[in-house]
Amino acid sequence: MNALSGKRALVTGASRGLGKAIALSLASQGADIAITYEKSADKAAEVVAAIEALGRRAVAIQASSAVAEETQRAVEETVNALGGLDILVNNAGVARGGMLEEMSLEDIDLMLDVNVRGVILTTQAALPHLGQGARIINIGSCLAERVPMQGISIYSMTKSALLSFTRGLARDLGPKGITVNLVHPGPTDSDMNPAEGEGAEAQRQYIALGHYGKAEDVAAAVTFLASPAAGQITGTGLNVDGGINA
């Protein structure tokens, strides 16, 4: 029997990359899946088709994590489509690099709106639907606690905010039997940060294992934290970074 049979999950920002891998991994363990996407309707439809090919229900919801009303609507549409909600994965995120004195207000606001406010508001909307044994899993970054290079101060700050949010929420929701955890990916081969892209070699020098991770590595960690086997784990951060922060 699959570990997540009968569970219903919402994965934000899951038309590609880490979100897609997470959605497929959860589905492979028996969960029905809702995903959100902002613009990539065709890619989102491909993810839905892949989930349905695994024998699970799936729905794609167009919603921007930067828009409060859309995050709330995405949760309601998930509950309506799947009949409830057991697992929330706050995966949607954006990165903008640059020195602070050169960064636009638009880029600063976007990172704050998606990486911090979007996580808070999606979680807030989900809470009335989450019961005993539910899981909240936030996707952070290996840059949340260490900043080994220039030009990432604001991005790192938005991800470090999830540390205290996760720990505090774990305290708040523990009496209800809901766990809250954080996964910190390191350099992971994706269209946002390709293993052979510009700056990849510089990042690779920091990785103890010497190579980029795969989206499936992060997905495996999320799926474990969503499973009954992780029932006694809450308020913690799990590094999936190849030892970059060792």
Distance, CA of 90 to CA of 94 (rounded, Å): 12
Contact yes or no for 137/184 (Cβ under 8 A): no
Has residue 83 got a pLDDT over 80?
yes
Reply yes or no on whether 155 is catalytic: yes
Is the predicted pLDDT of residue 177 greater than 80, yes or no? yes
Given a cut of 90, whether residue 132 has pLDDT beyond it is: yes
Q: Sign of the C-alpha dihedral, residues 1, 237, 184, 16?
A: positive
CA distance 141 to 20: 17
Two structure tokens written together for 145: 């606690």
Q: Is 65 in a helix, a strand, or coil?
A: coil
- pLDDT of 206 reads 85
Percent of the chain with pLDDT strictly greater than 90: 88
Alpha helices in 83-226 (DSSP H): 105-112, 118-126, 153-173, 200-204, 215-226
In this prediction, residues 41-62 reach a mean pLDDT of 98
Confidence of residue 38 (pLDDT cuts 50, 70, 90): very high
Both structure tokens of 135: 């899981």
Angle at 152 between CA 149 and CA 153, to 5 degrees: 105
Nearest of 76, 182, 167, 65 to residue 126 by alpha carbon: 76
Phi, psi of 90 (to 5 degrees): -85, 85
> What's the fold here for domain 8-240?
Rossmann fold (3.40.50)
What share of the chain has pLDDT > 70, as a percent? 100
| pLDDT of 148 above 90 | no
Q: Which of 144, 173, 156 is nearest to 234 (CA)?
A: 173
Question: Strand 237-240 relative to strand 58-62: parallel, antiparallel, unpaired?
Answer: unpaired
234 alpha carbon, distance to own chain's centre: 16
Token readout for 70 is 């859309």
What is the Cα–Cα distance from 184 to 204, expressed in whole angstroms? 16
What are the structural domain ranges in the chain? 8-240
pLDDT computed for residue 124 by the predictor:
98
Average pLDDT over the chain, rounded to an integer = 95
- In this prediction, residue 56 has a pLDDT band, given cuts at 50, 70 and 90, of very high
What pLDDT is attached to residue 205? 85
Average pLDDT of the segment spanning 64-79:
97
Give the range among 9-18, 73-82, 192-201 with minimum mean pLDDT.
192-201
20-24, 111-115, 146-150: segment of lowest average pLDDT: 146-150
Whole-number pLDDT of residue 1: 65
Instruction: Please give the average per-residue pLDDT across 122-130, as a whole number.
Output: 98
Give me the pLDDT at residue 195, please: 81
Long-range pairs for 64-67: beta carbons < 8 A, 24 or more residues apart: 64/38, 65/12, 65/13, 65/36, 65/38, 65/92, 65/113, 65/114, 65/118, 65/119, 65/122, 66/110, 66/113, 66/114, 66/117, 66/118
Q: How many residues does the chain have?
A: 246
* pLDDT exceeds cutoff 90 at 189: no
Catalytic residue among 37, 155, 206, 212: 155
Looking at residue 207, the DSSP 8-state letter turns out to be -
